[in-house]
Amino acid sequence: MSETVADLKLIVFQLKDKEYAIPVNQVRSIEKVEHITRVPRTVGFVKGVINLRGVVTPIISLRSRFNLEEAEYNEQSRVIIAVLNDMEVGLIVDSANDVIDVAPESIEPPPDVIGSEESDFIKGVTKIEKRLFILIDLKKVLNPEELTAQDEKGLAG
* Residues near another protein, by CB under 8 A: 34-35, 37-42, 46, 48-51, 54-58, 85-89, 142, 144, 147, 149-150, 152, 154-157
Q: What are phi and psi of 26, to 5 degrees?
A: -95, 0
Of 118, 90, 102, 101, nearest in space to 16 by CA: 118
- In the complex, least distance from residue 62 CB atom to another protein, rounded to whole angstroms: 14
Which of 49/100 has CB closer to another protein?
49
**CB 46 to another protein: min, Å:** 7
Alpha carbon distance 31, 94 (integer Å): 12
Q: Smallest distance, Å, CB 68 to another protein?
A: 21
Of 25 and 37, nearer to another protein (C-beta) is 37
Shortest Å distance, C-beta 118 to another protein = 20
What is the distance between the alpha carbons of residues 107 and 133, in angstroms, rounded to a whole number?
Answer: 9
Closest CA to 16 of 101, 77, 103: 77
CA-CA-CA-CA torsion sign (83, 84, 90, 91): negative
Query: Judged by CB, which is closer to another protein: 32, or 127?
Result: 32
CB closer to another protein, 115 vs 154: 154
Decide whether 88 or 137 has the Cβ nearer to another protein.
88
Q: Is 19 helix (H, G, I), strand (E, B) or coil?
A: strand
Among candidates 84, 36, 94, which has minimal Cα distance to 64?
94
State the minimum distance, in angstroms, from the CB of residue 14 to another protein: 24
